[in-house]
Chain A
Amino acid sequence: MTALNQLTLTEAREGLAKREFTAVELTESYVSAMGEARTLNAYVVETAEKALAMAAKSDERIQSGEAGKLEGLPIGVKDMFCTEGVRTTAGSNILGEFVPPYESTVTSQLWRDGAVMLGKLNNDEFAMGSSNETSALGPVVSPWRREGDSAPLVPGGSSGGSAAAVAAYLCAGATGTDTGGSIRQPAAFTGTVGIKPTYGRCSRFGIIAYASSLDQAGPFARTVNDAAVLLRSMAGYDVKDSTSVNRAVPDYEDAVGASVKGKKIGIPREYRLEGLDPEIAGMWEEGAQWLRDAGAEVVDISLPHTKYALPAYYIVAPAEASSNLARYDGVRYGVRVPGRDVVEMYENTRAAGFGPEVRRRIMIGTYVLSAGYYDAYYVKAQKVRTLIKRDFDDVFALGVDAVLAPATPSPAFGIGEKSHADPVEMYLQDIFTVTVNLAGLPGISVPAGFSGKNLPLGLQLIGRPFEEETLFSLAQVIEDAAGRFPVEDLWWKA
């Protein structure tokens, strides 16, 4: 029999419903797997006791016929989500031992539906990074290795802990956040499914803010169906987030397996970068063929402003970050480093508390918002954002239902391989994902092939606003054709 922690979330849900095992047994299997996987550094806090108590409550509700939609299913939470009574750091030293007195809306909806919390998952500091290497709590090691090579690889980032934990069977699903690709890139690196829904689909209340006009929460899972189940519970209107959208949440699971016959899929020519990895290009073509075989129509499209997306992002995101992170001043939470006066106390606290990437982005943001530069940088970037959104509006107006593109420009790289490079080299990781955040659209990453060294690669589907259902239908076609990409060598247990 498959170990309980290796079941998909959907299979575990079925097993619980049929009383084949209890929620406590399922949770115990995860807690034990977590204990054997500390070398991956995916979890930064394990809440085993709380998990077992929640699971026992779930078993009672299952017994009494009051099971919620996620009853008894063990979930990991990215450390960007505030969790009441459980330390939340955002991967930064500046928050110290911060224990939120409140719960984020997204996680509260998971618990409302009966999910069990296993702990908090590592991420790049304030979600700024593409490898999980900027975390003050140390890098996460991917459960994947190149064939014949034991060099540790990154799981991607910023939601590196979430991606690694889902791939390594350390939770049945996990929450992530995506500001420029932080769900889709690590999902692609780890053979997992990750979706960034439309901006406003999930409440941002209680999620530690990085760039508020771009941040969105979404799930990581081992299958498309699992991701659909999780998103249904995470999504929804919240009076505490004025940018959340008051619109009914569909049952996304109904869309999984639905026909894609007649759907029009756009292949953007601007994403065919010069020197694109031939393995990635091959997988992309194969993906288009799978969709064609399923009855979709594949057409070439143009998104002419694509190349301006990353430069615009590296103005907008740091500008918003410099404002959002102004609150870390050593007064209300976290660690305080004294100074001669209050300004020196702020400066010393922030110098000690922020890591180098966060400091860089705060300083870039401060610069582009400073007097005399605001119009040249920030306003210009916001205008470019209008053009990028218009590119997508134009292709959707032509009847395109979704855009198919790679999720990343390469497979996972090694820990330390890019850390001494120019910061811009790491930024290029988000080249295929960042347009989606700038335009507020939904995007899903689904595993679709292997690199020559046997590392998973992901395809990305980008949809119209609030048409996540179309993405789930198309992603399922890819999952059916490509198969799943489970980690088979649990080397870390040795």
Chain B
Amino acid sequence: MSVDQATVRRVAHLARIAVQEEELEPLKGELNAILAFVEQLADLDVANVEPMTGVIPMELPMREDVVSDGHYPEKILANAPEAEGGFFTVPKVVE
């Protein structure tokens, strides 16, 4: 499978990365080189193989459903590019 310019544009939007018009063609080439490389997997019949879900067989641990951490909003917000009144701020989403 290979991608065309329209697909590159759509994928960039899904990935929330702005791409300039002139970047589409080179990106298409790079992505297609990688897709051609992974295409080797087509030779392999995996019909009766289970997909791997965890590399080390183990059960996920359970814990009590209680608050075990938190109560330091100032630490959480310390690295925010914009914060106000104890909240992260973003451009207006709803008119």
Interface residues in chain A, defined as those with a beta carbon under 8 Å from any beta carbon in chain B? 96, 98-99, 101, 198-200, 213, 239, 242-243, 245-246, 305, 307-308, 310-312, 314-315, 322, 326, 329-336, 338-348, 350-351, 354, 359-360, 362-367, 370, 373, 376-377, 379-387, 389, 422-424, 427, 438-440, 465
Contacts and interface: CB of A to CB of B under 8 A. Distances in A.
B34 interface: yes
A335 B8 CA distance: 25
Contact of B91 (A213, A338, A373): A338
A332 B79 contact: yes
Contact of A331 (B17, B41, B58, B80): B80
Interface in B31-66: 31, 33-35, 37-41, 44, 46, 49-56, 58, 60-61, 63
Contact of B88 (A99, A326, A332, A348): A332
B interface, size bucket: 35 or more
B17 A384 contact: no
Given A314-B37, A347-B18, A331 B78 contact: no
A356 to B, nearest CB: 8
Nearest to B90: A342
A329 B1 CA distance: 30
Nearest to B80: A332
Q: Chain B's interface: helix, strand, loop or mixed, by majority?
A: loop
A345 B16 CA distance: 9
A240 to B, nearest CB: 9
A363 B31 contact: yes
Interface of B: 1, 3, 7-8, 11-19, 27, 30-31, 33-35, 37-41, 44, 46, 49-56, 58, 60-61, 63, 72, 75-76, 78-82, 88, 90-93
Contact of A213 (B18, B55, B58): B55
A301 B91 CA distance: 59
A311 B11 contact: no
B52 to A, nearest CB: 4
Contacts of A245: 56, 58
B63 A239 contact: yes
Given A239-B63, A385-B51, 19 more contacts: A101-B72, A246-B61, A312-B41, A322-B15, A332-B88, A339-B91, A342-B90, A345-B91, A346-B16, A347-B16, A350-B15, A359-B17, A360-B31, A379-B51, A381-B41, A384-B41, A387-B46, A424-B33, A424-B37
A350 B18 contact: yes
A362 B30 contact: no
